[in-house]
Amino acid sequence: MAFYDIYHSRRVWKWVLVVVSLLIVGNFLYFSNNLVKDLSEQERDRMQIWADATKELATASFASDSASTANVNFLLGIIEANDNIPVLLVDDSDNILLHRNFTLPEPPDSLALYELAPVNENFLKEKLKNLKNTSNHIEIQIDESITQHLYYEDSTLLRRLLFYPYVLIGVLGVFILVVYFALISIKKAEQNKVWVGLSKETAHQLGTPISSLMAWMQMLEVTELDKSIVTDMNKDVTRLSIIADRFSKIGSKPEMELAFINESVTKSLEYMRSRISQRVKLTINLSQDECGTLLCMSLFEWVMENLTKNAVDAMQGEGAIDVTVSSNATTIFIDVADTGKGIARKNFKTVFHPGFTTKKRGWGLGLTLVKRIIEEYHGGRIYVKESEIGKGTTFRIELPKK
């Protein structure tokens, strides 16, 4: 149960981190948008001043005194000071009276100077058409009969600032993904080293006592001891040898051989059939097609035994296990269904994590080994196909057909 609590806490912390990240991103976007909004309002205020200066110039009476000259120069200074906000000044008929700060199209070398004006005019008219669909418009009432219209684009700084938060979030997202996958790769490499080291050491440690036991069994065979006892003991010693061989194969790439799946599944379950409770009904439904696939038989038997043991434990020694083999054009399916206590949907993937177990006594490594054998050595998949609390669970193995 301790490992279960660890994975439950990890899941909670994962969602906490997601919520905190969303809050940080949300606050960042909120303050950035407020900054853009403030800058946009400042630009509109500048354009309003520009429009007022334009109106004053249009209605001013040009006198020769120094005060009038200074006033005109002041107004012209306001208009000339705008060097970063593109503006269009038009009349009621959409005739362009003035334009500033637009980057006009580069003319081809073959275009004569007198042909350039229509090109620029068409460009500015297209700009005007687009600006009319925005709120960047200020009406200038020159007098009762004359009205001019000022249209302007956002400055380059404002446009950059508008996209900057999303660019920054994108860069941070890519950086986080790179770091995440790097950590996952390092973690996986470390886990592989642990598995290989543990498996080889286990096989090595089992090898010596198994060899001694085999020698003792040979001595017992020539004694007057009951032959049936010797036979049963010999089976268990042979079983230990098989287990040691499995661990040695986990520590290295096993040799694969072409095998027929119906025969392989039947053979894998023969050992378990005689060792599970009589209150557990084990049914095998074989495929109508004799499908072949590449298998390491000793490891595949280990997979089927682990799944069967888990099913027996889930049913507390009483119920039914149905093993069904089927296939399509490219894939072989093996479904192991039980009538046990079931698995919560949130744990469908977690059950394959090392250390995850709901048993009072258990290391939570059985399904981790099963996943490693099927996916890394046999190029297949294993997952919880379906499960319902109180009714049972179905694990599905998918293997490539040969």
Phi, psi of 202 (to 5 degrees): -65, -45
DSSP for residue 385 = E
Query: Alpha carbon 254 to chain centroid distance?
Result: 31
Q: Is residue 362 part of a domain?
A: yes
Q: Is residue 53 part of a domain?
A: yes
* Of the residues 108, 132, 154, the one at which a domain ends: 154
Q: Is residue 214 part of a domain?
A: no
Q: What is the pTM of this model?
A: 0.55
- Quote the pLDDT of residue 308: 92
Average pLDDT over all residues of the chain? 81
Name the residue among 178, 244, 180 with its Cα closest to residue 209: 244
Q: Is residue 346 part of a domain?
A: yes
Query: Terminus-to-terminus CA distance in the chain, angstroms?
Result: 41
Give percent of the chain above pLDDT 70.
Answer: 83
Residue 85 lies in domain: 19-154
Contacts of 189 (CB under 8 A, 6+ apart): none
The whole-number average pLDDT for the span 86-99 is 87
Find the CATH number of the domain harbouring 262.
Answer: 3.30.565.10
Burial of 82-102, coded b for 16+ CB within 10 Å and e otherwise, reads beebbbbbbeeeeebeebbee
- Quote the pLDDT of residue 339: 94
Tell which wins on pLDDT, 372 or 104: 372
Q: Is residue 330 part of a domain?
A: yes
Q: How confident is the model at residue 316 (pLDDT cuts 50, 70, 90)?
A: confident
20-34, 205-219, 258-272, 296-310: segment of lowest average pLDDT: 205-219
Asked whether the predicted pLDDT for residue 402 surpasses 80, the reply is: yes
Q: Are residues 281 and 149 in the same domain?
A: no
- Quote the pLDDT of residue 205: 63
Name the residue among 223, 319, 299 with its Cα closest to residue 259: 299
Asked whether the predicted pLDDT for residue 110 surpasses 60, the reply is: no
Q: How confident is the model at residue 60 (pLDDT cuts 50, 70, 90)?
A: low
Strands of 96-100's sheet, edge to edge? 96-100, 87-91, 147-152, 137-141
Name the residue among 12, 393, 6, 369 with its Cα closest to residue 194: 369
* Of the residues 136, 154, 172, the one at which a domain ends: 154
Tell which wins on pLDDT, 46 or 395: 395
Q: pLDDT tens digits, residue range 48-58? A: 888 888 888 77
Calpha distance 55→49 (Å, rounded): 10
DSSP for residue 110 = T
Count up the domains in the chain and report the number.
2
DSSP for residue 86 = -
Q: Is residue 396 part of a domain?
A: yes
* Of the residues 154, 185, 202, the one at which a domain ends: 154
Q: Is residue 230 part of a domain?
A: no
Q: Is residue 11 part of a domain?
A: no
Tell which wins on pLDDT, 374 or 74: 374
Calpha distance 272→277 (Å, rounded): 10
Question: Highest-confidence range of 108-112, 190-194, 384-388, by mean pLDDT?
Answer: 384-388
Q: Are residues 150 and 32 in the same domain?
A: yes
Q: Are residues 280 and 396 in the same domain?
A: yes
The whole-number average pLDDT for the span 283-292 is 90
Do the Cβ atoms of 283 and 269 come closer than 8 Å?
A: no
Calpha distance 85→150 (Å, rounded): 12
**DSSP characters for 14-62?**
HHHHHHHHHHHHHHHHHHHHHHHHHHHHHHHHHHHHHHHHHHHHHH---
The whole-number average pLDDT for the span 111-124 is 64
Q: How confident is the model at residue 395 (pLDDT cuts 50, 70, 90)?
A: very high
Name the residue among 163, 150, 246, 235 with its Cα closest to residue 202: 246
